Amino acid sequence: MPRDNSREVRPGDLGSGDVGVFNPQDFSVFSADEPMIMGVYRDGMDLRHVTIRNFEPGQQTPLHVHPENAHCIYVLEGRGDVLVEGAPPIPISAGQFLIVPRNVPHGMANTGDGRLSYLGVNGGAEPSS
C-alpha cells in the first residue's frame, strides 16, 4: 500500500503554541491502483501515528494486526465494510468510528460507489524491532 509521509509533522513542527490544526481534505490523496496512506502526525512515544487512508471504490486493505497497540478509525467520507477475521463484514459510514483492540485481525473495504477516507490514530510507542 503506498504511503506518503511528505506532509507528516512532528511535535517540533506543529506551530503556534506547540499545537496543530489540520484539515483532512489536505490529506485526501487517492491512487487508482491501491489504497493510499497519508501520514499526518507522529511523536514516536504516545502517538505512534495519525494517518488518513483513502480508498477508491472497490479497494480494500488485507487483514492485518497491530500487536503493539490499539487504534481508532473515524470515517471522514464514504461508506464501506470493516473486515474482521471470522466475522461477517460490519458496515461503516461517514461520521462513525471504530475501535480496534491490539491483536485483532482487521481490514477495511470500500463497498460504496464513491471514495472512502478515514482518519486513523494508533497510540503507543513505535515498536522496538
CATH architecture for the domain at 3-10+23-123: Sandwich (2.60)
Task: State the average pLDDT over residues 90-118.
Answer: 95
Cell of 125: 510507542
By percentage, how much of the chain surpasses pLDDT 70? Answer: 94
Q: How far apart are the first and last CA of the chain?
A: 21
Sign of CA dihedral 26, 100, 128, 43: positive
Distance CA 118, CA 120 (A): 6
Domains of the chain, by residue range, sit at: 3-10+23-123
pLDDT tens profile 1-16: 788 888 888 888 887 7
Cell of 32: 487508482
